[in-house]
A and B are shown apart, each in its own frame.
Chain A
């Protein structure tokens, strides 16, 4: 982002921290499982802030007891999409909440060019703003290529 000194996309939890190690990810998953959340793995190569729904990698995992199952899925997803953004989401099914309770990025490309803020003039000196990812110029699947 323009105002982000680290040159990293900051979405979800822990995104201002250095990347979590696998052991730390495991601890977060275990915490979520202890709260009864259902984890799922999602990926995208278009991390635009308004791109809310990423692609699902497999089904959400209900009734898990241990983080190893989620880690297996994550490993498989990293293997398939090594240069995509991958995030873990924890769904809280408690009646009345029924929404995502935790979400954090666990895989990101080596180089993240970030977003451009485009200004365009409209009638009556109005300024219109547009956020566009630099990487989005390339077709899907070829963004963030080395």
Chain B
């Protein structure tokens, strides 16, 4: 009774795979042309200063995915590689930015279906009372399906010394989905090196399920200066005469102070310099400014920083 005795025209929809007229890829170039993944990698090279080991690893992963594509053409068994990653590095070294690019690369190569990035921290995964954590974690995982789940400061998930901490529950659900849902999402953990090491020691299951550990090195002063110029150019500012040298000096001094957060500190310093520039121009009520005045940061804007204040004693 349950099976209808009539036929349905066009009931079986064609799979949403690649268009039929495209020939199967035969060379690396074919795959690259079809997926346009090289654009993203070039962009990564161009926009991100330094980070050589990270870029190399991203390139390796992309190469593996491309070759896997070609292997599939020959019917060679290509089990979906585990793409879960761990990004370790000090604050402001570009972990989130690279994660965003990674989502694009994986999407272009067809390893995640939608290519969006869901960035979460402990608060988004762990509940406040018994029975709250599992639905919360699952809801986040559902949102990340088809894309990349980026867990910032992942070591907070595990609180040693508190057996009843709900973080452990979130970790177990994560592990299960990382194992069974490889086709559906890629998990990227991020955090500081030392604390991530402790985290992995307490959660060996997590360590073994993550294939790629990428370390983000600190930036050198020259790299930070280049980054600063990138940031300024994006916002249509530039260094005036001598300001570049002063800022270099600023970077060296700032790096020795506590709570130095690499590129993030640079961004904040530049934002403060913009405020000072605005005040400086604001004081000249009757002057007519041209575009050059409005875009230039002079040494005085930078030298007013607390970093240059003479240290007492």
Contacts and interface: CB of A to CB of B under 8 A. Distances in A.
Interface stretch (B2-10, B92-100, B199-207, B216-224): B2-10
A68 B184 contact: yes
B1, B8, B12, B113 pick with most chain A CB within 10 angstroms: B1
B139 interface: yes
Contacts of B8: 17-18
Interface in B216-244: none
A16 interface: yes
A110 interface: yes
A23 B11 CA distance: 12
A112 interface: yes
Contacts of A58: 135
A72 B2 CA distance: 26
Interface string A28-40: 0010000000000
Interface in A55-74: 58-59, 61, 63-70, 72-73
A66 B146 contact: yes
A71 to B, nearest CB: 9
B274 interface: no
Given A17-B8, A18-B8, A73-B142, A65 B1 contact: no
Interface string A1-26: 00001111000000011100001100
A61 B13 contact: no
Contact of A23 (B2, B15, B147): B15
B95 to A, nearest CB: 22
Nearest to A18: B4
A32 to B, nearest CB: 14
A27 interface: yes
A6 B5 contact: yes
Contact of A69 (B2, B13, B143): B143
A111 interface: yes
B160 interface: no
Contacts, number: 70
A63 B140 CA distance: 10
A72 B135 CA distance: 13
Contacts of A16: 4
A72 B142 contact: yes
B141 interface: yes
A65 B185 CA distance: 11
B4 A61 contact: no
B22 interface: no
A84 B242 CA distance: 76
Contact of B1 (A63, A67, A73, A112): A112
B287 to A, nearest CB: 49
Contacts of A27: 13, 16
Contacts of A110: 2
Contact of A64 (B13, B15, B113, B145): B145
Contacts of A64: 142-143, 145
Given A24-B13, A27-B13, A59-B139, A66 B145 contact: yes
Given A58-B135, A68-B146, 20 more contacts: A5-B5, A6-B5, A8-B2, A18-B8, A23-B15, A24-B12, A24-B13, A30-B16, A59-B135, A64-B145, A65-B114, A65-B116, A67-B146, A68-B185, A72-B138, A72-B142, A72-B145, A108-B2, A111-B1, A112-B1
21 contacts: A5-B5, A6-B1, A6-B4, A7-B1, A17-B4, A17-B11, A23-B13, A23-B15, A27-B13, A65-B146, A65-B147, A66-B145, A66-B146, A68-B145, A68-B146, A69-B143, A72-B138, A73-B142, A111-B1, A112-B1, A112-B2
**Top 3 closest A-B pairs, CB basis?**
A66-B146, A69-B142, A7-B1
